[in-house]
Amino acid sequence: MSSKKTESAKPLIIVESPAKTKTLKNFLGDEYRVEASMGHVRDLPEKEFGVDLSNGFTPKYETLPERQDVLKKLAEAAAHAPEVYLASDPDREGEAIAWHLKEALRLQNARRIEFNEITRQAVQQALQQPRDIDMNRVNAQQARRILDRIVGYKLSPLLWKKANRNTLSAGRVQSVAVRLVVEREREIEAFVPEEYWTIIARLTPDTEENAFDATLRLRDGEKLELHNEQEASAVLQELEGAQYVVQKIKRTERKRNPSPPFITSTLQQEAARKLGFSAKRTMQIAQQLYEGVELGAQGSIGLITYMRTDSTRVAAEAQQQARDYIGREFGNRYVPEKPPQYRSRGGAQDAHEAIRPTSVARTPESVKSYLSKDHYELYRLIWQRFVASQMTPAVLDVVTVDIQAGRYIFRATGSSVKFDGFMRVYVEGKDNGELSDEERPPLPPMLEGQVLTLLALLPEQHFTEPPPRYTEATLVKALEEKGIGRPSTYATILSTIVERGYVELKDKRFHPTALGIAVTDYLVKHFPDVMDVQFTASVEQQLDEIEEGKQAWTEVLRAFYEPFAQRLAETEKNGEFVRIEAKETDYPCPTCGAKMLLREGRYGKFLGCSRYPECKTIVNVTRSGEPVPPDKPSDEVCEKCGSPMVIRWGRYGEYLACTNEQCKAHRPLEKSTGITCPACKQGQLVERRARKGKLRGKVFYGCNRYPECDFTLWEKPVGRTCPKCGSLLVEKRTGKRLTIACSNKECDYREEPSAEAQALAS
């Protein structure tokens, strides 16, 4: 038996993230060298188009500047390794990353391996079955990237020109998602509510404790609709003194089947419903659960399978493991005769698996002490959904009772659980609060012909309601149902359309902005194909066919580009501009008293007088659209002229401005945290706002000795150090949720904040 291999003589496995390297090393030991590429290493250039349209859509790839050192390290490792295995994620993007690594490192004999879960068995099986890089997959990903570059790079400058603002962007998929939100808003605006009335009879067979509600349904055997108060009052008059008799009792036994195990879209939907997570947050947490979490003496363990999937398929071994667990924990009645099979939607990649725990035996409670609250909640959701999906259906007794009152029939429905089946573990959430027949409480015992006691007749006025605005859950569901995007893109789509200012999230529902409406209308008029839902879905199907080897990727690009380029040229020539509607407000003009209008210009929102051009008064607004507050005095003096400085509100928040109109000096407002800088041990951390680039206006925390010390944090420090690694602890905020976490990305320490801090956060 030879001694341990030297580092240079070991086979090299290249994964995407440091977390994966940690998990793989945990069970591969010293037999392999495992390094991380840190994700993508090459891409199209940032500041130029990068696609040769006249030469078969040849892309010009460049090494990402931040990956230069990584590639150098990987090249040195690969030069001495007897074998190199490319182990990026098991999807198109992962295949493309593997290809880019092979090209950038000039690897001749590198082999591709993939695994759906980061476990000892899965990785060892993958190492025994290496393969060549699948160029059909790579080309499908290249086609997607180039399509998105064509639309983004060609349409965005047009929007800059036509809207007179250079902050706009268009996207092949994001623009269609915005269109869905805009069209839903117009449905709501155009909706005319219709009045209707219901009449509920509160009845009991004996005591008030057994009271139940029955809804008026029929008159003379015909369905009854009450349109106004007069019609309802007429019915109530007829019912005065009526006897309420049980006419018919119908008992049925209904089976309720479990939901399939999660795919990406359903995980995002359910995490939004039950946990209040955004799609982006869900995927970040799921990524960490997949790549590996430290479980004490066990080391780093991958807790779930790959989380970007549209397949509900489950490996036979995983199903058997679940069946064994279910039988042991709940009894054989809960184990179905055969393992259930769930149908994936059309176009799903069934080589993948559904999202499931890598080991059912690793219950949520058994790992809870090692996980943060967010990690625990999402893991429990995935574990429960998977286990429930492998259990027997629930059986419910549903009782429907028809009650006669003269010429009228009232109906009541109740249910009771005869056998809980999968419901013992998990029940899927809903997007609305309406109860199905199976979810109604049980009715008291009754007999046909029995006379009931009327406790009250309750008429109630209603109005039909417009379709609801999209939530994150329902928008993801709509994107999936319409074939827009793919599992790996949903979270990015939703975050992008908010960040670009095309939609806003208010009370967890998407509202289009005036900008979003204007840009959507313009693009729909001039680029109907790009904005067409069915066309966008057909492009996704063509990308699938490229992956399957049924279409050439360059032909798909050519078929898209030629009509698009022609329409682009025509639109550039016409003089039509993007018209952004102004919104009336209740704020009076400080000059003439007329109402101010909320407008959007090239530099963002502002209030302008409704009497423009007679009155040209404008007022800056905060991000929420309110007038900026007046200047506040400060203790600071101007470094240039010595005049007092005031705290003034600007586009990106508060800043210090000189009161001397001739000087006009200004500087960022720095709020001290009172925390010593951990890097230089001399300065203090102060709150600042980024002044350049895409993050302009974003709050960060840096040393007040800058530029001598350039230490920075994007999250607010809490003034304590991590008990695991000694780095600063910071606040991690997602919506109204607050957790305390280590600022060191390699450390997974988390803790719950105090009740007072959590209350302040919400």
Q: What is the DSSP string of 36-104?
A: E--S--EES-SSS--EETTTTTEE--EE-GGGHHHHHHHHHHHHH-S-EEE---SSHHHHHHHHHHHHH
Confidence of residue 577 (pLDDT cuts 50, 70, 90): confident
| Distances from the Cα of 302 to the Cα of 289, 375, 586, angstroms | 6, 12, 55
Q: Does 1.10.460.10 match the CATH number of domain 158-182+472-573?
A: yes
| Distances from the Cα of 16 to the Cα of 87, 287, 490, angstroms | 8, 12, 21
Prediction pTM value: 0.78
- What's the full length of the chain, in residues? 762
Sign of the torsion angle spanned by Cα atoms 496, 501, 502, 503: positive
Can you tell me the mean pLDDT for 525-551? 94
Judging by DSSP bridges, how do beta strands 58-59 and 62-63 pair with one another? unpaired
- In whole angstroms, what is the distance from residue 414 CA to residue 408 CA? 20
Tens digit of each residue's pLDDT (9 = 90 or more) over 639-660: 889 899 998 877 667 788 999 9
Write out the two tokens for 47. 């500041």
In which element (H, E) is residue 197 found?
strand 195-204
Can you tell me the mean pLDDT for 715-739? 82
Sole residue written with tokens 């057909």: 538
Which are the catalytic amino acids? 306
| More confident of the two residues 427 and 664 | 427
Domains 158-182+472-573 and 264-389 agree in fold:
no
Q: What letter does residue 642 receive in the DSSP assignment?
A: -
Q: What angle do CA 580, 584, 590 make, to 5 degrees?
A: 115
| Type of residue found at 270 | E
Tens digit of each residue's pLDDT (9 = 90 or more) over 254-291: 999 999 999 999 999 999 999 989 999 999 999 999 99
Whether the Cβ atoms of residue 238 and residue 224 lie closer than 8 Å to each other: no
Give the pLDDT of residue 432: 67
CA-based nearest residue to 648, from 664, 672, 663: 664
Q: 127-141 in b/e burial notation, b at 16+ Cβ within 10 A?
A: beebeebbebbbbbb
Q: Provide the 3-class DSSP secondary structure of residue 141.
A: helix
Q: Does 2.40.50.180 match the CATH number of domain 195-257+394-463?
A: no
**Beta bridge pairs of residue 596:** 609
Whether the Cβ atoms of residue 621 and residue 606 lie closer than 8 Å to each other: yes
Give the pLDDT of residue 664: 81
Q: Any residues with CB less than 8 A from the CB of 718 and at least 6 apart, and which? A: 728, 729, 730, 731, 740
| More confident of the two residues 715 and 381 | 381
- Lowest-pLDDT choice from 394-408, 579-593, 603-617, 695-709: 695-709
Give the pLDDT of residue 2: 42
Q: Thinking of the domain 264-389, which architecture would CATH place it in?
A: Orthogonal Bundle (1.10)
The ranges assigned to domains in the chain are: 7-133, 158-182+472-573, 195-257+394-463, 264-389, 583-620
Tens digit of each residue's pLDDT (9 = 90 or more) over 317-366: 999 999 999 999 999 999 999 999 998 765 555 457 999 999 999 999 99
| Distances from the Cα of 118 to the Cα of 28, 303, 409, 754, angstroms | 11, 8, 61, 35
Tens digit of each residue's pLDDT (9 = 90 or more) over 615-626: 999 888 876 678
CA-based nearest residue to 78, from 35, 45, 21: 35
Percentage of the chain with pLDDT > 70? 94
- In whole angstroms, what is the distance from residue 355 CA to residue 266 CA? 10
Half-sphere exposure of 620 (CA within 13 A, CB side): 13
Sign of the torsion angle spanned by Cα atoms 257, 258, 261, 266: positive
Q: Provide the 3-class DSSP secondary structure of residue 518.
A: helix
- In whole angstroms, what is the distance from residue 247 CA to residue 52 CA? 78
Can you tell me the mean pLDDT for 581-598? 90
Q: Does 3.40.50.300 match the CATH number of domain 7-133?
A: no
Whether the Cβ atoms of residue 408 and residue 199 lie closer than 8 Å to each other: no
Give the pLDDT of residue 666: 85
Write out the two tokens for 743. 């600022």
Give the pLDDT of residue 734: 61
- In whole angstroms, what is the distance from residue 185 CA to residue 206 CA? 50
Give the pLDDT of residue 351: 58
- In whole angstroms, what is the distance from residue 680 CA to residue 361 CA? 47
Judging by DSSP bridges, how do beta strands 632-637 and 644-650 pair with one another? antiparallel
Whether the Cβ atoms of residue 211 and residue 203 lie closer than 8 Å to each other: yes
Judging by DSSP bridges, how do beta strands 583-588 and 595-601 pair with one another? antiparallel
